[in-house]
Amino acid sequence: MTLIQELRWRGMIQDIMPGTEELFEKEQVSGYIGFDPTSDSLHIGSLVPILLLANLFFGIYMNLSIWFKLGDKTYYGFYFTLLGAIITIGLNVYLIPIYGFVASAYTTLACYFIMMLACYFVGQKHYPVPYEIRKAFFYFVLMLAFYFFARSLESFIGKGNLLFLQLAQTGIFILYIAIAFIEDFKNKKFA
């Protein structure tokens, strides 16, 4: 069974360009699934990691924002929202004509990151909480290092051996979880 026949059997192909099936039978064809910020054009799937990171920052902002809600200083929520709106509008107006729709994802990332930092620093003045910033930063940098290492495995292993590639990337994820567990176990600070 060829790839096209398999995909048809699974109901994953609705329509196909003429000549595609013959091309797949005649020679090996490469496809690209991933994220390359240097490419001339990006597809919507390329934006997923950027938007996931942006929403991580927004989630942290939401958790940090408890200080102005508890302290009856909800007007700070307005200030942070206004800051986010100014960043979003300004960067979108400036960047979209240059980079297209991709700029919106990077704008969202910048907006939520700056809102998170502003909420943290202002919050520490009004309602100080001893967050373990070094530990959080360590986990964040470790996550980024493992992410880029896992992505670079594609060039070493090759996209042809997808099963081995996915197993290696899953192993890297398990290693990250193990390091986090061991670090928390050493300090006996896990919930």
pLDDT per residue as tens digits for the range 44-91: 666 888 888 899 999 999 999 988 888 889 999 999 999 999 999 999
For the cut 50, the answer to whether the pLDDT of residue 33 exceeds it is no
Determine the length of the chain.
191
Q: Which residues contact 165 (CB under 8 A, 6 or more apart)?
A: 153, 154, 157, 158, 159
